[in-house]
Homo-oligomer: A and B are copies of this chain.
Amino acid sequence: MNFADRIIEEVLVKKSHVCVGLDPRWQRIPRSLRKNYGGSRPDTAEAARQVIEAFNEGLLEAVKDTAVAVKPQIAFYEIYGEKGIEAFWNTVKIAQNKGLLVIGDVKRNDIGSTAAAYSRAYLENSSPVRDNDRVLPDAITINPYFGSDGIEPFLQSCEKNDRGVFILVRTSNPSAAEVQDQKLVDGATVGEKIAGMVAEWGDSLKGENGYSPVGAVVGASCREEAAELRARMSSSYFLVPGYGAQGGGVEDVIPCFDYEGLGALVNSSRGIDYAYEKDEYSDDYRRAAKKAVQDMSEKINSALAEDPGLAWEEAE
C-alpha cells in the first residue's frame, strides 16, 4: 500500500495526527534511567545505547495508541558513533513492533549516485548483506538542494517498497527565510519553487486517497505560507515540525490540513519526550508523555472540527 494511504489508515484508526520526535538528549533523560550509567555523561558509548533504548522503549509504549508515527532525529544518535547508530536502528524496530509508523529524520541527500546509496541504506528491502535482518523506517526526510537527480533514487525506492519521503520545503527555524523565502524572478519564493517540484515528483505516484508518498516538511511557523504551500502540493502529506518547544501552536498547523482534515502529521519532540520535567506526573516520564500526546491530539482534533477547510479558503 502507498505510504500516504498507510498513514491515513492509521490516522483514521487512532483518530490522531500526532508524530512524536525521539530526540534523546542525555542530560534530560530521567535520572533514574541513567544514574547507573554515568550521571552527567555516559560512561561508555554502550551505556549511552542502553539508556537511549530503554528511554525510547518507555516513550514508545506510552504513546503507541495515540501517536500515528514517531520520528527519531538521527543527530542525537550519531553523537555516540556506531553505538548510537545501533540505538537508532533498534529504536526503528521497537517502534514498528508497537504498530507505529517510523519516519527517520535523517535529512540526507547528495548527487544521484550517492543519493542511491542513502536510499539503499534507509528505504531498500534488498539487503546489503546476507545475514541482514534490519527493519527499515517507513519514510525518511530528505534535502532538495541537489535538484531532481538527488531525489530520483528515493522515488524509486518509495515506489518499489511502499516507503515515503518528506522533502524539506519550509523549515521551522528562525533563519529559514534567509534561503527559503528568497524571491525568484518568477515571483515564487525558493520554498514555493521547491514545493512545485515536490508536487511534480509525486504526481505519478498518487494512491487511493489522492496522496503520493512524496511528502513535504512544512514548519508550523506561518499560517499564510502554510496555506499557500498546501495549495501548491495538494497530493503531498505534510510533516509539520515546530509545534510546542519551537513555538508553533495549533492555529499555525491547521492550514497544513486538507478539506477533510487529513494531509498533515504534526510533530512534537521535546514537548513530549521531556514533558515529565514540568508535569504533574514528574515521577513517570511515560505517563507525562502519554498525557502530552493526548492533550496535543485533542487540541488538533478540536481545531480541525471547528475550522474545516480554513487553509484553502485563505489561500484562494
Contacts and interface: CB of A to CB of B under 8 A. Distances in A.
Contacts of A182: 184, 190, 193
Interface in A100-137: 107-112, 114-115, 117-118, 120-122, 127-132, 134
Given A43-B130, A44-B131, A121-B78, A111 B173 contact: yes
A73 B107 CA distance: 15
Nearest to A173: B111
Nearest to A245: B113
B145 A81 contact: no
A131 B37 CA distance: 12
A149 interface: yes
Nearest to A87: B82
A310 to B, nearest CB: 26
Nearest to A177: B147
Residue of A48, A117, A190 with most partner-chain B CB within 10 A: A117
A47 interface: yes
Nearest to A73: B114
A80 interface: yes
B75 A129 contact: no
B173 A118 contact: no
Contact of A47 (B23, B112, B129): B129
B171 A145 contact: yes
A38 B110 CA distance: 28
Contacts of A179: 144-147, 190, 193-194
A110 B107 contact: yes
A171 B146 CA distance: 7
A217 to B, nearest CB: 10
26 contacts: A38-B130, A41-B128, A41-B129, A42-B130, A44-B129, A44-B130, A75-B110, A75-B114, A76-B117, A78-B121, A80-B129, A81-B85, A81-B134, A107-B108, A107-B143, A111-B171, A111-B173, A143-B145, A145-B171, A145-B180, A146-B173, A146-B176, A146-B179, A147-B179, A147-B180, A150-B175
